[in-house]
Structure 1
Amino acid sequence: MSEALKELGAHIREALDDKVLDAAVRYGELTLRVERHAIIEVLSYLRDDAECRFDLMIDLCAADYPERGERFEIVYHFLSMHNNHRIRVKLSTDEETFVPSITGIFPVADWYEREAFDMYGVVFEGHPDMRRILTDYGFNGYPLRKDFPLTGYVEVRYDEEQKRVVYEPVQLKQEYRDFDFESPWEGMRALLPGDEKAESADEPEQA
């Protein structure tokens, strides 16, 4: 399988020339790193070429590497049912540069791209409805960015007593967080069963 994937990677690189920056077999899958502006052309080829036939989109996700100039990595996963092969396609972008939307060739990417926008702030150019999809209207910030603060934002919830949606400040402990299982925002202060064993283990043994 590994040799077949290497041959497929060489075939793709030859066909797409400088649009593919790297092709390697990792974790049993062929991984391509491609130019951001060429993503539609690359994926169209992977879908339509007779030796590829990656016509089933599995997933689209993002990852944040703040230390990089292009901090965001967009990762696409596809499956060829005909050839029983999987492929991973990656590209990089920064906070300002748009990524071409692939909804024109893979409509299923619609909500995946909206999720990446909502969680990371990556904008997909040409998307038919680039709105947040998981957070509340008016939410400030992008929760899955590594520099997203744990305090300073608000929690939105429905209050049964007031019979309306209320906004309350979120108070998260930055470092040592424990949970009391009553509120997701407060620290744990109750003694749980078994804690006394940990305390006794710290005491010196009696001679």
Structure 2
Amino acid sequence: MTVLHSAPKYASNDGVADTLSAAIGDALVSAHEEHGELLFTVQRDGIEDALRTLRDEHEYQQLMEIAGVDYPGRPERFEVVYMLLSVTKNHRVMLKCSTDEATPVPTVTTLWPNAGWLEREVFDMYGVLFDGNTDLRRILTDYGFEGHPFRKDFPLTGYHELRYSEEEKRVVYEPVKLAQDLRTFDFMSPWEGADYVLPGDEKASTPPVDEPKTTESPKQTGAGPKTDAKAAEKVSAGSPAEEDTGVEEPDAPEPTEDRKGKAPRKGKGRDNPGATEIEEDKA
């Protein structure tokens, strides 16, 4: 059975930017298309009215996400991005506004209940304040956490750690105990060597050699005809294995396949005289 739905499989952006720009009105700062999506920059004080207009008059019913962006070099370093979805048009748009660390952004919990959790996430990660949010608490970091991890100037390493103490039954800050803090690391090339004495090297100091020993003649190296002749002698000379005992070594045993009086082979196996032929017989 074919199911028909009013929402198109693919919604075009043709004419949407002009229509929504006119609907937003004076609060609109800029509008452009990027990566196939429409992005509207709105003044901070007019963000709530702009979102209400798109929800009530242009069928963007769902608030899918609220995200934060940090640009430390700007006077208003933070951007708050709202992502809307129209389930009847199968179309998405994004609205954003900018703010700083002290100026709050109007809350949109009056438009979508799920905005409360999303605004708490942006507050926790970036420190953006939302005016009108009655439950603006941290949501991802732990109790007692200091700072906002998604800020570009948030330190990646530090000298304090955060953990839960079973003894005190709460989250505590304490100094990080690292053995490396007592060490001095040398990042010089190993081929150049360090310009200081390593521990233990003072015991291995040797006086300089005035006249280095050389081996310029065979006499100094020990080489020569006498050495070559001695090297040619057998090392095992005079050993018991080298003495002649006068006993001849036995020859190899004769083949038994064609021996006279041999009992016939049992089973299905057959004698194969050719397998034990002697080279003399072949000749």
TM-score, length-scaled by structure 2:
0.55
RMSD of Structure 2 on Structure 1 (CA): 2.2
- Checking the alignment, whether the CA contact within 8 Å between 1:152 and 1:169 is kept in structure 2 is no
- Is 1:42 the counterpart of 2:56? The answer is no
What corresponds to 1:203 in structure 2?
Answer: none
Correspondent of 2:36 among 6, 28, 31: 28
Q: Which has the higher strand share?
A: 1
User: 2: distance between equivalents of 1:126 and 1:70?
Assistant: 20
Matched, 1:68 2:90: no
Q: Larger C-alpha radius of gyration, 1 or 2? A: 2
Q: Which amino acid aligns with 1:14?
A: A
Percent of paired sites with the same residue: 49
Report the 3-state secondary structure (helix = DSSP H, G, I; strand = E; otherwise coil) of the residue aligned with 2:137: coil
Match of 2:123 in 1: 117
Moved more, 34-43 or 147-156: 147-156
**Contact (CA 8 Å) 2:145, 2:162: kept in 1 or not?**
no
The alpha-carbon deviation at position 29 of structure 1 amounts to 1.2
Q: How many residues align?
A: 168
Secondary structure at the aligned position of 1:5 is classed as: coil
Q: Classify the secondary structure of the residue corresponding to 2:13.
A: helix
Deviation readout 1:124-152 (Å, 9 max, x if unpaired) = 00002011111222221111111112344
Moved over 2 A (4+): 150-160, 162-172
Partner of 2:162: 156
Q: CA deviation at 1:44?
A: 0.3
Paired residues of 1:6 and 1:24 also in contact (CA < 8 A): no
Look up the equivalent residue of 1:117 and give its one-letter code. Answer: F
CA change 1:170–1:7 in 2 (3 A) is farther
* Aligned pairs for 1:4-153 within 5 A: 4-49=12-57, 52-152=58-158
Q: What is the Cα deviation at residue 159 of structure 1?
A: 5.7
Structure 2, unpaired ranges of 5+: 1-9, 179-283
Q: Report deviation, 1:119.
A: 1.0
Q: 1:169, 1:81 → 2: CA distance?
A: 51
Relative to structure 1, is the Cα distance of residues 114 and 153 closer, same or farther in structure 2, using a 3 angstrom cutoff? farther
TM-score by length of 1: 0.74
Looking at structure 1, the residues matched to 115 and 102 of structure 2 have their Cα atoms a distance apart, in angstroms, of: 21
In 1, Cα distance between the equivalents of 2:129 and 2:137? 10
